[in-house]
C-alpha cells in the first residue's frame, strides 16, 4: 500500500464533468465542460487523445460493453460515437432539441439509447451503436427524460422523467409496451434488478415503487420516507433493495414483495451516498452532520450496525467498494480520499492533493489504481497496490 499519487489529469480549459474507466481498466475517459471528451492512461495519467466536435459541455461518457467504442452525450443536443482506441470520430447522432440527460448501451452493445427532450416532448432516441444510424424515437413522455435503463437481458427499455411516469418499450421492436403511473412527481432514478424480475423507481414524491419488469404491473409502493428518495440500489445478487432519502434514513426492502426489512437509525445529518459490497452482504452509507462525518456499515440480512469508519473532517460525497470487496474508498468535502479495510475498518491511507472537495471515487478493475475527481477541476490517480 503506497498511497502514492500516481498522476494528476490536468483539467481541459473549464474542468471535468464526467469520468469512466474502460472495461479493461487501462484508460480513463472524461467528459469536459469545454465540449471535449479526453482519453488518459489510467496508469501514468498521460493524455492520449482529445475527442473534439461537441460545442457544449459533455455530460455523459460511456464505453460499449466490449470496450471498442465510446459514446458521448452533450448539452449541444447530440450524441457522438468514437473509436475508443484511436479517438477517431465515427458518427454524430442528432435529433434531440434540448440537453441530453441520460445515455445507456444495450447489454449486447448494439444500440445506444439517449434520453432528453425533442420537439416539445420528452424522448429517448435509439441509435445503431456501430454505424450511428438512427433507429427510432420513443416519444411517450410529455416532459424531459431523466433516466434510461435497459433490462439485463436487453429486451426492455425503461425511461423515467419529469412527468413522473415510467414507460417500458420493447427493445427489439421498439413498440410501446406500457406506461406505469403512480408517482406524483419527478422520477429521479430507475433500476432493474440484476435478475430482471423487478424494476424499481425513486421519486421526489417521497416513495419508491416496485414493478414487474415483464408485464409492468405495479407490485407495491415503498412508503416510509418523509422526504424525496434520491437514490436506489439493488444488491449485486438482486436479493435486497436499498433506498436513501433526504429524510436522513436508509431503508432496506425485499424487491420481490416490497416488504420492509429494516430502517437504519435516523442519522443526525444527511445520507449522501450508499454502496453495496460485491457479495451483497454489507451496505455502506456515508453520513454527514455538523459534528460527524463517517461511513457506517450495516449487515444487510439483519439491519444491524456493524462498524463506523471515522476520520473525514467534512461531508462524504462518494463511497466505492473495490471489485473484490476488500477495500472501501471515500471522497469528502475535506479535499481528501481515504482508503479503508472493508472487513476491519482499519484506516489504510489518506490521499491528499485536491484543492477542493472530492466529488467521486472509483477503483480500476484490476484494483491497483484509484481515481478521484474534484470540484477543483482535476482527476487524480492513486497507486494503491
Q: What are phi and psi of 299, to 5 degrees?
A: -80, 120
Asked if 363 and 372 count as a contact pair (C-beta separation under 8 A), the reply is no
CA angle 222, 225, 229 (to 5 degrees): 80
Q: Given its phi and psi angles, is residue 325 left (phi above 0), alpha (psi -120 to 50 degrees) or beta?
A: left
* pLDDT value, residue 179: 87
pLDDT tens per residue across span 207-265 = 999 988 878 889 999 999 998 887 777 877 888 888 877 777 778 888 878 888 877 76
pLDDT tens per residue across span 34-90 = 899 988 876 666 788 899 999 888 877 888 888 888 988 887 878 888 999 888 888
* pLDDT value, residue 210: 93
Banded model confidence at residue 106, pLDDT cuts 50, 70, 90: confident
pLDDT tens per residue across span 320-377 = 898 899 999 998 889 999 999 998 888 999 999 888 888 778 787 677 778 787 777 6
More confident residue, 21 or 286: 286
Asked if 337 and 382 count as a contact pair (C-beta separation under 8 A), the reply is yes
CA angle 328, 242, 253 (to 5 degrees): 140
- Report the pLDDT averaged over residues 185-198: 83
Q: Domain spans of the chain? A: 264-385
Choose the weakest-confidence range: 121-125, 178-182, 304-308: 121-125
* pLDDT value, residue 121: 56
Instruction: Using the Cα atoms of residue 218, residue 273, residue 260 and residue 299 in order, give the sign of their dihedral.
Output: positive
Element of type H or E holding 302:
none
Q: Helix (H, G, I), strand (E, B), or coil: what is residue 373?
A: strand
Cell numbers for 39 = 482519453
Q: Is the pLDDT of residue 20 over 80?
A: no
Q: Report the distance separating Cα 152 and Cα 107, nearest Å.
A: 7
* pLDDT value, residue 335: 92
Q: Is the pLDDT of residue 270 over 90?
A: no
* 161 Cβ neighbours under 8 A, 6+ residues apart: 115, 122, 141, 143, 144, 145, 146, 147, 186, 187
More confident residue, 23 or 121: 23
What distance lies between CA 232 and its chain's CA centroid? 10
Q: Report the distance separating Cα 49 and Cα 82, nearest Å.
A: 11
* pLDDT value, residue 247: 79
Asked if 72 and 54 count as a contact pair (C-beta separation under 8 A), the reply is yes
Q: Is the pLDDT of residue 139 over 60?
A: yes
Q: What are phi and psi of 82, to 5 degrees?
A: -135, 150
Q: Helix (H, G, I), strand (E, B), or coil: what is residue 142?
A: coil
Fold classification of 264-385 is Methylamine Dehydrogenase; Chain H (2.130.10)
Single out the residue of 334, 328, 344, 312 nearest to residue 384, CA to CA. Answer: 328
The single residue listed with the C-alpha cell 472487513 is 343
More confident residue, 199 or 365: 199
Among residues of the chain, what percentage have pLDDT more than 70?
83
* pLDDT value, residue 349: 92
Amino acid at each position: 500500500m503506497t498511497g502514492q499519487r500516481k498522476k494528476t489529469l490536468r483539467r481541459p480549459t473549464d474542468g471535468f464533468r464526467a469520468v469512466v474507466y474502460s472495461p479493461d481498466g487501462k484508460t480513463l475517459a472524461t467528459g469536459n465542460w469545454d465540449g471535449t471528451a479526453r482519453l488518459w492512461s489510467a496508469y501514468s495519467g498521460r493524455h492520449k487523445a482529445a475527442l473534439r466536435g461537441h460545442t457544449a459541455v459533455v455530460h455523459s461518457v460511456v464505453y460499449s460493453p466490449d470496450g471498442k467504442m465510446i459514446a458521448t452525450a452533450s448539452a449541444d443536443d447530440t450524441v457522438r460515437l468514437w473509436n475508443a482506441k484511436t479517438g477517431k470520430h465515427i458518427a454524430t447522432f442528432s435529433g434531440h432539441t434540448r440537453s441530453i440527460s441520460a445515455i445507456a448501451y444495450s447489454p449486447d452493445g448494439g444500440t445506444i439509447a439517449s434520453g432528453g427532450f425533442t420537439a416539445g416532448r420528452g424522448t429517448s432516441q435509439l441509435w445503431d451503436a456501430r454505424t450511428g444510424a438512427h433507429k427510432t424515437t420513443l416519444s411517450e413522455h410529455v416532459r424531459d427524460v431523466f433516466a434510461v435503463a435497459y433490462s439485463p437481458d436487453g429486451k426492455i427499455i425503461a425511461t423515467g422523467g419529469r412527468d413522473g411516469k415510467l414507460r417500458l418499450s420493447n427493445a427489439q421492436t421498439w413498440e410501446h409496451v406500457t406506461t406505469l403511473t403512480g408517482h406524483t412527481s419527478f422520477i429521479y432514478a430507475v433500476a432493474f434488478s440484476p435478475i430482471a424480475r423487478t424494476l424499481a423507481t425513486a421519486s421526489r414524491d417521497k416513495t419508491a415503487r416496485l414493478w414487474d419488469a415483464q408485464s409492468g404491473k405495479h407490485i407495491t409502493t415503498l412508503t416510509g420516507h418523509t422526504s424525496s428518495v434520491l437514490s436506489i440500489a439493488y444488491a449485486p445478487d438482486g436479493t435486497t433493495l436499498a433506498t436513501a432519502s433526504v429524510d436522513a434514513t436508509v431503508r432496506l426492502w425485499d424487491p420481490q414483495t416490497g416488504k420492509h426489512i429494516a430502517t437504519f437509525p435516523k442519522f443526525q445529518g444527511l445520507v449522501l451516498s450508499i454502496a453495496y459490497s460485491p457479495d451483497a452482504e454489507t451496505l455502506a452509507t456515508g453520513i454527514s452532520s455538523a459534528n460527524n462525518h463517517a461511513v457506517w456499515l450495516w449487515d444487510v440480512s439483519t439491519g444491524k450496525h456493524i462498524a463506523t469508519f471515522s476520520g473525514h473532517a467534512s461531508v462524504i460525497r462518494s463511497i466505492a467498494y473495490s471489485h473484490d470487496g476488500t477495500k472501501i474508498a471515500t471522497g469528502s468535502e475535506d479535499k481528501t480520499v481515504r482508503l479503508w479495510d472493508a472487513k476491519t475498518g482499519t484506516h489504510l491511507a489518506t490521499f491528499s492533493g485536491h484543492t477542493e472537495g472530492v466529488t467521486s471515487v472509483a477503483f480500476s478493475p484490476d484494483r491497483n489504481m484509484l481515481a478521484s475527481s474534484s470540484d477543483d477541476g482535476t482527476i487524480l490517480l492513486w497507486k494503491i497496490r
